[in-house]
Amino acid sequence: MLKCFVLIDLKLDKLTHQDIGQMDFYVRYYDNEVKALDDNPTIGIILCSDKKDTIVKYSVLNDNKNLFASKYQLYLPTEEELAKEIEKQKEEFEDKEK
């Protein structure tokens, strides 16, 4: 069983370094002040309308295993679009592992 706090921030605009810093602050605060000793580390998730890979690459998101940012869409993708996106993400992940 995963027992932890999950903090979610929904952004209507592009992801900024301020958004990442704010989430990093919240995650650290919860880990130090709120979570119990038997809780797993707090997880922070930022959902935004657009994210730039440069901001992600040069921020704490690149080094912190408990902070995540993802682009959301205002419509549901078709099955084909979803399959393409999954394949794209898989390839990017495999490239990072090399």
Span 6-97 CATH architecture: 3-Layer(aba) Sandwich (3.40)
Could you tell me the CA-to-CA distances from 64 to 10, 26, 36, 44, 68 in Å, in that order? Answer: 19, 13, 20, 10, 8
Indicate the domain borders of the chain.
6-97
pTM reported for the whole predicted model: 0.59
pLDDT digits (tens, 9 = 90+) for 41-71: 888 888 887 766 656 555 555 566 666 666 6
Q: Which of 9-23, 48-62, 76-90 has the lowest mean pLDDT?
A: 48-62
| Cβ neighbours of residue 51 closer than 8 Å, sequence gap 6 or more | 14, 15, 69, 70, 71
